[in-house]
Structure formats: structure tokens, C-alpha cells
Amino acid sequence: MNHLKSLLERSAFGVCSYLGEKIGVASARVRMYFIYLSFATLGSPVIFYLFVAFWLNIRNYIKQKRSPMWN
């Protein structure tokens, strides 16, 4: 079960985990709120989710480019 959970977290860009760490809330609760809000607002939080996923991806890319090759 933990293997499946980690696979889903990696493939889902880690947005809920990131937001949960920043806010101080469990990532499972953040996921639950995204699901509830998506149903209640007909999917508009999905746009926010994709924006944050794109931002995190760009941020990680920039961090990789800035880190020196030798450590």
C-alpha cells in the first residue's frame, strides 16, 4: 500500500505534499480538500493545481541548473 501511495505522489507532481508541508497540514487532508473543492466548484481547483505543479517543476529545474557539478 505504501508503494502505491508513493507512486501516486510522485506521478501527481507532489503539489499536495508541498502545500501540506508549507501550511503544516497532512498531505492527505490537502488532497481531500482538493477533491471536495473540485466537485463543489466544477473543477476550478484543477487549474490552480496545474499552475502549482508547473511552478514546482520550473523551480526544481532552476535549482538543478544552479547547483555545482562537484560536491
Burial letters 27-58, b for 16+ CB under 10 A, else e:
beebbeebeebeeeeeeebeeebeebeeebee
Q: Which residues contact 36 (CB under 8 A, 6 or more apart)?
A: none
Q: Which residue has the cell 557539478?
A: 69
Q: The whole model's pTM is what? A: 0.60
Give the pLDDT score at 38. Answer: 85
Other Cβ atoms less than 10 A from the Cβ of 8: the count is: 10
Query: In the chain, what percentage of residues exceed pLDDT 70?
Result: 79
**pLDDT tens profile 9-38:** 666 667 888 888 889 999 889 888 888 888
The structural domains of the chain, with segments of one domain joined by +, span 2-66
